[in-house]
Amino acid sequence: MSIELKRACISRSAIAVTLINFAMLIFGGSEIIYDKLIYDFDWGGSYIDKFLVGYGMGVTCILAVFFPITSVLAYSTSYRKERDSGYENLLKLKVGNKEYRSLKAFTAALVTFASLFIPCLLWLIICFFVFGGQVSTMSIMPPPSFLERLYSGSPFLYGLFYCFNAGIQGAVFAVFGLGLISVIRNKYLGMLAPFCFCLFSAAVIDRFARGLNALNLFVPEVYVNTAIGKSGIWLYDIVLILIGLICFWVGDKYHGEN
């Protein structure tokens, strides 16, 4: 396992996706950074507010929309490469089918968590040093209700919570995407499937049940999914993980038998 994790973490795809995620964060906050550095103009609010603008609450943010794609690209697509090349069979002979599937799912989740958590943490640190450490009483977007005390008392921890959330959602969609890639014959459609699901949930499902909009998982306005009760976001994540694991088990087993 340690060898696989080390290989995955230093792979070109994982590094590239981490850099792409960071670039999307910087682009999301480009307006406030440009105005601050070039014109010394402050948009108002605290550094946490500005962090959230780049994270996913601003007009120019794109990471909150495209994270389902980068989550799959970070590592989940490597499974199809191994399967299509036949290298998968060699690995299964060494570790066994069960261990292989478990290792792939765990590695995909861990690598993708890091590919989103690290850029978000760097963006939080940049906002802290560029825009100062004082938290004002004004906020561009109101913080989630049960985190209000953390927002005012420990703003950096509040931002860190969102960094962890980004990593968790990346891990969820990595496993979800891994399952879809294993059952969808066309690998490119498999790569886009989690993104298409998010767009469908935002364009169609959101009209009937806003809490089931998958894009809200990355930037929860209220960290309780009212459509399915308390802790709904965690339930949503668990369902997506279970779907991914079941699809991965079925798809990998079917391919192995055929």
- Could you report the per-residue pLDDT of 195-215, keeping only the tens digit for each? 999 999 989 988 887 778 888
Average pLDDT across the chain, whole number: 81
Q: What pLDDT, on the 0 to 100 scale, is given for residue 120?
A: 96
Q: How far apart are CA 196 and CA 77, in angstroms?
A: 16
DSSP 216: G
pLDDT tens digits, one per residue of 167-189: 999 999 999 999 999 898 888 88
Exposed e or buried b for every residue in 163-183, given b needs 16+ CB within 10 A? bebbbbbbbbbbbbbbbbbbb
Q: How many residues does the chain have?
A: 258
Mean pLDDT of 71-92: 79
Residue whose entry in the numeric block shows the structure tokens 């008392």: 153
Task: List pLDDT tens digits, range 40-69.
Answer: 656 666 788 888 888 988 778 899 999 999
- What would the pLDDT profile of 106-136 be if each residue is shown by its tens digit? 999 999 999 999 999 999 998 888 776 555 4
User: For the chain, how far is it from start to end, CA to CA, in angstroms?
Assistant: 27
Q: What pLDDT digit, counting tens, does each position of 215-244 carry?
A: 888 887 655 545 445 567 788 899 999 999
pLDDT of 226: 52
* Gap between the Cα atoms of 73 and 141, Å rounded: 31
The model's pLDDT over 149-166, given as tens digits with 9 standing for 90+, comes to: 777 778 888 889 899 999
How far is it, in rounded angstroms, from Cα 217 to Cα 208? 17
Q: Would you state the pLDDT for residue 109?
A: 93
Task: Please say if the pLDDT value at position 253 is more than 80.
Answer: no
Domain ranges in the chain are 2-257
